[in-house]
């Protein structure tokens, strides 16, 4: 199948998926047994019907649900996610403010998880049932089993409070000013502006939360990589390659790893989507101003426009990352190109 037709098919499949997601997100948001009036108006205003009616008109709560959804969908197609009840700012502006912090944290975490997970998985598969295999599997099991919030608290206690190896919560020290905003990613913006001390401080702040989040990801990737590698190494063409005298390293790199990566890429994509969706507990513990904390505050205040905007953003992230994974499948699996 030509590459452009493959991409076009995936895009056409994504459109009804995204429309369905907007409908589901709207239904769930409106099914919540909560009243935004009680959450956002002061107690003294709850006895004034005029204020309550004005609030309902201001946020479109006086319209039937069908009309609310169609209005929201029409605005969404124009790039308008509405206005947050809590912050009084456009939801899209809030997302632009909070999303870069989550992207930066998720990217560092997935890089750590991929490097450690794939390396451990290959080592474990190549030296199957040896001491190194048991050690790697035990470490991977710990990474998957320990709750992220507990690992975060342990990491802060040891590496920040006691050893002082890394900086504490937040993206930068209080005494430092934010680098000039270009991408919203402090590490990238610090490099672009030449603020190397800010770059070092930003890296010191991000390393611990990214390792905490990446530990779980690395454990999952390591187990999937080991399982997939063992399956590939038992196939006939691998035995044939060995019988012909092909070097073990060459055989692993060019033949075994390439075929074993298909399920691993799937797990990496799903893990990255999950990280981008916002790790609420980790962001809260490390005072990381990401999309997870934004969504948590929106849900506790019944901020329906923010809840809808955040939910749709998360859904778009999953669809977008899965689209990229499908593109990688095209290059990794010859059966898709020939199908």
Can you give the residue ranges of every domain in the chain? 93-291
- 18: tokens are 């995204």
Which residues, listed in sequence order, are joined to residue 90 by a DSSP beta bridge?
A: 83
pLDDT of residue 38: 64
pLDDT in tens, the chain (339 residues): 677 787 888 888 888 888 888 888 777 777 766 666 665 666 666 667 777 777 777 666 667 778 778 887 888 888 888 778 778 888 888 888 899 999 999 999 999 999 999 999 999 988 888 999 999 999 888 888 888 888 888 998 999 889 889 888 888 988 888 899 899 999 999 999 999 999 999 999 999 999 998 998 999 999 999 998 888 888 877 777 777 777 777 777 777 777 788 888 889 988 898 888 767 778 888 888 888 888 888 877 777 788 888 888 888 888 888 888 888 887 777 766 665
The Cα 307–Cα 303 span in angstroms is 6
Model-level pTM?
0.83
Q: Are 332 and 261 in contact (CB under 8 A)?
A: yes
DSSP H or E run through 336: helix 334-338
Using CA atoms in the order 5, 9, 11, 15, what is the torsion angle rounded to 10 degrees?
Answer: 150
Residues whose CB is less than 8 angstroms from the CB of residue 333 and which lie 6 or more positions away in sequence, other chains included: 262
- The single-letter DSSP state of residue 254 is I
If you write DSSP's letter for every residue of 68-94 in order, what string do you get? HHHHHHHHHHTT---B-TTT-SBHHHH
pLDDT of residue 305: 80
CA 116 and chain centroid, separation:
18
**CATH top-level class for 93-291?**
mainly alpha
The Cα 123–Cα 133 span in angstroms is 7
What percentage of the chain's residues is helix, strand, coil (to nearest 5)?
75, 0, 25
- 274: tokens are 């999950």
Catalogue the long-range contacts made by 278-282 (C-beta closer than 8 Å, 24 or more residues apart): 278/102, 278/314, 279/105, 279/148, 279/213, 281/148, 281/149, 281/152, 282/105, 282/148, 282/149, 282/152, 282/209, 282/212, 282/213
């Amino acid at each position: 199948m030509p590459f452009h037709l493959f991409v076009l098919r995936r895009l056409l499949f994504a459109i009804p998926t995204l429309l369905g997601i907007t409908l589901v997100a709207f239904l769930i948001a409106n099914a919540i047994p909560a009243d935004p009036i009680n959450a956002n108006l002061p107690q003294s205003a709850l006895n004034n019907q005029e204020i309550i009616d004005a609030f309902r008109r201001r946020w479109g709560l006086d319209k039937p649900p069908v009309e609310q959804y169609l209005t929201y969908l029409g605005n969404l197609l124009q790039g308008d996610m509405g206005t947050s009840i809590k912050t009084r700012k456009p939801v899209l502006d809030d997302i632009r403010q909070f999303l870069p912090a989550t992207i930066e944290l998720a990217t560092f975490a997935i890089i750590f998880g991929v490097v450690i997970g794939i390396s451990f998985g290959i080592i474990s598969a190549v030296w199957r049932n040896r001491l190194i295999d048991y050690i790697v599997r035990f470490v991977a099991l710990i990474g998957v089993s320990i709750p992220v919030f507990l690992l975060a608290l342990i990491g802060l206690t040891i590496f920040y409070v006691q050893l002082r190896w890394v900086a504490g919560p937040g993206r930068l020290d209080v005494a430092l000013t934010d680098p000039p905003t270009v991408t919203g990613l402090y590490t990238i913006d610090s490099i672009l502006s030449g603020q190397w001390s800010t770059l070092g401080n930003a890296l010191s702040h991000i390393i611990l939360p990214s390792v905490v989040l990446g530990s779980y990801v690395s454990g999952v990737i390591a187990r999937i990589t080991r399982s997939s590698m063992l399956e590939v190494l038992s196939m006939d063409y691998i035995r044939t390659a060995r019988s012909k005298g092909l070097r073990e390293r060459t055989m692993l790199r060019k033949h075994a790893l390439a075929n074993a990566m298909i399920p691993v890429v799937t797990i990496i994509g799903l893990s990255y989507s999950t990280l981008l969706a916002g790790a609420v507990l980790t962001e809260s513990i490390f005072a990381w101003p990401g999309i997870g904390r934004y969504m948590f505050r929106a849900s506790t205040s019944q901020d329906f426009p923010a809840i809808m905007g955040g939910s749709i953003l998360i859904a778009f992230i999953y669809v977008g990352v899965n689209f990229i994974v499908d593109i990688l499948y095209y290059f990794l699996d010859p059966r898709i190109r020939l199908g």
